[in-house]
Amino acid sequence: MPAYKAPLRDMRFLMNEVFDYPAHYAELSNGKDADPETVGAILEECAKFCQEVLSPLNLSGDDEGCHFSDNQVKTPKGFKEAYEQYVAGGWQGLSHPAEYGGQGLPMSLGLIKSEMMGTANWSFTMYPGLSLGAMNTIMQHASPELKNLYMPPLTEGRWTGTMCLTEPQCGTDLGQVKTRAEPQADGSYRITGTKIFISAGEHDFTDNIVHVVLARLPDAPPGTRGISLFIVPKVQVKADGSLGERNHVVCSAIEHKMGIKASATAVLNFEDSVGHMIAEPNKGLEAMFTFMNTARVGTAVQGIAHAELSYQGALAYAKERRSMRALSGKKEPEQVADALIYHADVRRMLLTQKAIAEGGRAMIYFAAQYSDHMTNSIVEGDQKKYKYWDDRLGFLTPILKGFLTEMGLEAANLGMQVFGGHGYIKEHGMEQIARDARIATLYEGTTGIQSLDLLGRKVLVMTRGKAVREFTGHIARFAMEQMGNSKVRGFATRLARLAAEWNVLTMRVMLAARKDRDAVGAASYHFLMYSGYVTMAYFWALQAAVAAKKLAEGGAEKKEFYKAKLYTAHFYFDHLLPRADGHATSITRPAKSLMKMPVDSFAFE
């Protein structure tokens, strides 16, 4: 397994030179303590924890997996102790209010922390990661009494949280949820039903687990309009915050999975479990979107996490492993053969990984500033401002989740490919990265669901193309500003054309959908991938512009970092961005070639 090294130089480049995080934090009401010195210390300490504590447990956790017996889960050796260090370091409450025991720092710092943790050990990160979504949902939708009861132990990390949506008969189609909620005289509810695929649903880290559960009231209307949201703790909580009797929540099994084996994915049975409603009756799904969007952006981080870790492993191997001679002549004549890194095809794979990891990181860090504005708006009580930033992050969320997880999986597979046959062998850890990455395109809404959310919901229904026009306008303005910059003029020219094309493609889908509703489903995947490639192109051009400026300014700092940015940007535009052209063509192809074949024709003898 590659030993994780936090890419702090690249992270600081994005935070300080590309997106000007210091100025961004200075504008936030909760950003006054996020001064450069404090942020720098946080990054250094988090990197140390991830490199020294979490990374060494990644391979061993995969080997051992979780143990299930008598409805209880024991996590792999070292995981519980690592969580205790995590809690002692105050990491769980980094970006949550001080009134509940947190540090009250901007949300983006929590996301950057999660990137480092997830790259070092994704299975471990799942446990506190699900808690963050539960905390955000409770913070935004629960009553003051429930917040005061549940937020302090969640913020401190003494308890963890989960998201309980899926049931055996339904996955994404939550309109089929059957779990029942019976109101009680004391204002509580009795929850009965089965939930599956519950990440961190049972473990030995904490004394209590707070489940956020979708269920139906007895008089609820059918479909998604009749779903409410409840807090259902594993152990009941007394009015003074102490733990009472064990609730009727039973873990009946944990899944045997392809990857993230050290993360317990539970089947939970709620049997007249005591719960408390959060949000309004029958408005649970709307409230749950707070949790789901948190999880989706977090899953987008998984894409770059696996790309980064696989790249680090593949790069080290490509420098050390020697095979044949480079086509352009001997590069290491004193050796029996040249290192893999001198071969063009290996460089193609390494540069693809690097472009995905660093381009995706830029996309995430940009979106993280939107998250900061959203949470800041909540603190200020400004609903208009909140909606403004929520709409912008809402447009980017399916692109981040869908595109970056697909690209992260590609990067993980390329890491195996660089190793050749050795990549298929467990001891090197590269195949684990690929197995762990595979789930990212599936949970929190598959790539297909993200595609429909982007094109069908965010672009066509909710904004009638306005979301695309606003974001492409942002890209076009950058492109026009850079036309006089000889170092990035080629990038800017291409971006200006793509910004216009993105709008044209959107309009063509809108027109096609008037005649054939299947046109949206047929185009949605290609529309998402096209959107992802163009968005990443913008952020590579942005990084290239900053790097070119730094090189022009001169100075004593080592220049290789900035030169590498320009090299990678050129690679992306030359070798990865052309994929967008194929997706653009497919967006406009008729749906009938997908839909006209009868169902019976899929069968074979």
What CA–CA distance (Å, rounded) separates 429 from 4?
Answer: 12
Q: Of 455, 415, 418, which is closest to residue 433 (Cα–Cα)? A: 415
What CA–CA distance (Å, rounded) separates 94 from 155?
Answer: 9
Q: What angle do CA 222, 224, 225 make, to 5 degrees?
A: 70
Catalytic residue among 444, 470, 557, 605: 444
Q: 444 an active-site residue? A: yes
CA-based torsion, 309, 313, 316, 319: positive or negative? negative
343: left (phi over 0), alpha (psi -120 to 50) or beta: beta
Structure tokens at 253: 């099994």
Residue 200's contacts (CB-CB under 8 Å, 6 or more residues apart) are 126, 127, 129, 130, 131, 160, 162, 209, 263, 264, 266
- 11 by Cβ neighbours in 10 Å (0-12 / 13-18 / 19+) ranks as middle
- 567 by Cβ neighbours in 10 Å (0-12 / 13-18 / 19+) ranks as middle
Backbone angles phi, psi at 152, to 5 degrees: -60, -50
Identify how many contiguous H helices and E strands the chain contains and give both numbers: 19, 11
What CA–CA distance (Å, rounded) separates 172 from 532?
Answer: 23
Q: Of 561, 369, 550, 547, which is closest to residue 474 (Cα–Cα)? A: 369
What CA–CA distance (Å, rounded) separates 56 from 549?
Answer: 39
Residue 201's contacts (CB-CB under 8 Å, 6 or more residues apart) are 162, 164, 195, 209, 211, 251, 264, 265, 266, 267, 268
Residue 268's contacts (CB-CB under 8 Å, 6 or more residues apart) are 164, 194, 195, 196, 198, 201, 202, 211, 249, 250, 251, 252
Structure tokens at 134: 């539960």
Which helix (H) or strand (E) element contains residue 12? helix 8-12
Catalytic center residues: 444
